[in-house]
Structure 1
């Protein structure tokens, strides 16, 4: 077995060991090469189960957390998904293997442009990247079957909750940026919103407005 093949096998084992059992999610994690999304100085660490720095002061999330969030989102093949915080594009690429259509928004234009290049490179034609303020969601495309937020807000943002279809699920970290946050699952029912706390996490804060680059 080559070093690369062994690395990828260990990568998938690390994800399974964190409780990710959904075969569709595991298959998507296997199909999308994290190495495409980690370039430069940190490229040798692409298959480690750790978050890594990317441009604009952001991070590419720990693979097991990406998998846990994706599993909790329970994406179905006909779903339209909104992701807030494109970052490297890795999470959106995973979602693209599970959903009909993925809209991902990023406040830093540089990250959005680089993510689009990676999606093109991988032939992912069902992902739309937009540079906009993610705290407002994407009302022109609402409602969404699933919403995933990859930055922490103190409370689930009202505009995002309003864009979730009845029967829809939103996964997001909630809490102050300099403290441990809680990963929350919000389900919209006919009668309102149900909240479930999943685990402790740590994410960059959800910031309003557009980035400087």
Structure 2
């Protein structure tokens, strides 16, 4: 099968799964379709480009399945004037998608190699409003406050430290729960000095690691 045809069919199947979930976000879906996902997936895994399953990438990390990515980004409710912090650059795909629906994206990853590879992919697509940096997401970020924060690694308890990094009414979406068990994707809306929390869906993701990788 022609690879381009396969990607189109994969995207169509993904859209059907999203509609079945009740996720209807035309701006997000247009951004995902316009971002060549196959460019962010290792060649040997191209058959799984639009799969709901995660795919391994360098540094022992993975690119999450497109279904989970869409559900999380839909819950983030990004606007065109929003500044977004992403914790966990990975392949750089979700940062590329966010670049199309927000004004600015700061994306952090503890692996220098992943950051460098993501920059190359973004440059190839002409993306100018994403800044990929090495960092663990636990330390203060100089560009704060942000309108939206999304994390792709799990916290063992609600990450209240990010309240100070969010604007009033800002939204944080992150997995919360024990490292070796089922976690819950939760949506936190900053109201005054507190968070209003909503459960989105159960997941199993890697816990957020402290520090940054020194060798890679």
- TM-score tier, shorter chain, comes to over 0.9
Deviation for aligned residue 1:137: 4.6
Q: Please, which runs of 5 or more residues in structure 2 have no aligned partner? A: none
Deviation for aligned residue 1:119: 0.6
2:132 alignment counterpart = 129
CA RMSD of aligned residues (A): 1.6
CA contact (8 A) 1:136 1:160 kept: no
Deviation for aligned residue 1:12: 2.7
In 1, Cα distance between equivalents of 2:36 and 2:18: 14
2:114 corresponds to 1:111: yes
2:76 to 73, 98, 101: 73
CA contact (8 A) 1:155 1:174 kept: yes
1:176 to 175, 178, 190: 178
2:164 alignment counterpart = 162
Change (3 A) 1:66 1:137: farther
1:203 alignment counterpart = 205
In 2, Cα distance between equivalents of 1:177 and 1:62: 19
Provide, for residues 53-72 of structure 1, a one-character-per-residue CA deviation record: whole Å limited to 9, x for no partner. Answer: 11111110110111001110
2:145 corresponds to 1:143: yes
In 2, Cα distance between equivalents of 1:3 and 1:55: 24
SS at match of 1:198: strand
Deviation for aligned residue 1:15: 3.1
1:192 to 185, 191, 194: 194
The count of corresponding residues between Structure 1 and Structure 2 is 212
2:92 alignment counterpart = 89
Q: Please, which runs of 5 or more residues in structure 1 have no aligned partner? A: none
2:34 corresponds to 1:12: no
2:41 alignment counterpart = 38
CA contact (8 A) 1:15 1:63 kept: no
Deviation for aligned residue 1:109: 0.3
SS at match of 1:166: strand
